[in-house]
Chain A
Amino acid sequence: MTLDLVLFLVLALVAVASALGMLFSRNAVYAALYLVLNFVTVAVFYLLLSAPFIAMAQVTVYAGAIMVLFLFVIMLLGSDALPKSQVLPWQKPLAIVMSVLLAAEAAYLLVTKARPAGDVLPPTELVNTTENLRQLGNALFTDYLLPFEVVSILLLVAMVGAIVLTKKEKGARQ
């Protein structure tokens, strides 16, 4: 057992526990907070995987912007737990069986078929250099320039869409 492995196992435990916490909390605010914990743990995994830029983007965008937006909407709509409704009572057990099947299938396929040869190396001093970051930026703005531009248009469209959807029409009731 190396220190890396211990760190991985502890973090994996936190990640799975917080995901389950999100799944089972009745109150939406607690669910959101568990999810924030999960996102931060995933960011630490990115650090372990030698991807500091993605780790910081994960914390800034997911934990800092997306989840704050979620909390904001939960507070706006009222965070009370919903009454228990049973419209489709057979759905829950079926869902659990299907998901277990999915998990087994996914793990089996990924480990046997789609597995890249090799192991994940721990980050070295090299990861923490400006050169590394510069190469990432170069790749982003040369090989992936078109997707980058498309994403920027997508963000603009989403922004306009969100404003149009939530804006009250002039002269509307309320």
Chain B
Amino acid sequence: MKYAVEPPRRTMIPVDYYIILSAILFTIGVLGVLIRRNALIIFMSIELMLNAANLAIVAFGSVIQNFSGQIFVFFVIAVAAAEVAVGLALIVEIFRTKKTIDVDQMSSMKG
């Protein structure tokens, strides 16, 4: 599962840079979930967090020269697609009953 031939060592970017970038993006996603009230934007923030994690995984995989990182990310992308389909359907359904997508208004258990 290693690359066919070891690529020649040239200029490089420390993997720390990718990790820090990924951490920043993840934090922005967390902030989005915590401070936004629009259900759609909260959902987008979750997607941003997934992406930040993906970036870190691919960076690690690239450092250890292994395909596993890419394959995990492939699965994450597929699961994200499934999650979005169901999540958006739920949001549409909530909008139909509550007439709003403000999460603060969704405070009762009954529809």
Contacts and interface: CB of A to CB of B under 8 A. Distances in A.
Asked if chains A and B are in direct contact (CB within 8 A), the reply is yes
Interface of A: 2-5, 8, 12, 15-16, 19-20, 22-23, 28, 31-32, 35, 38-39, 42, 45-46, 48-51, 53-54, 57-58, 61-62, 65-66, 69-70, 73-74, 76-77, 82-83, 85, 87-88, 91-92, 95-96, 98-100, 102-103, 106-107, 110-111, 115-122, 124, 126-127, 129, 131-132, 135-136, 139-140, 143-144, 147-148, 151, 154-155, 157-159, 161-163, 165-166
Given A122-B12, A135-B4, 16 more contacts: A4-B12, A20-B28, A23-B36, A48-B13, A49-B58, A49-B59, A53-B74, A54-B70, A82-B101, A91-B35, A99-B31, A115-B19, A126-B4, A139-B71, A151-B79, A155-B82
Contacts, number: 257
Given A92-B35, A121-B62, A139-B71, A28 B7 contact: no
Contact of A159 (B61, B74, B85, B104): B85
Interface of B: 1, 3-5, 7-32, 34-38, 40-41, 43-45, 47-48, 51, 54-56, 58-64, 67-71, 73-75, 77-86, 88-93, 95, 100-102, 104-105
Interface of B is mostly: helix
Contact of A53 (B8, B70, B92): B70
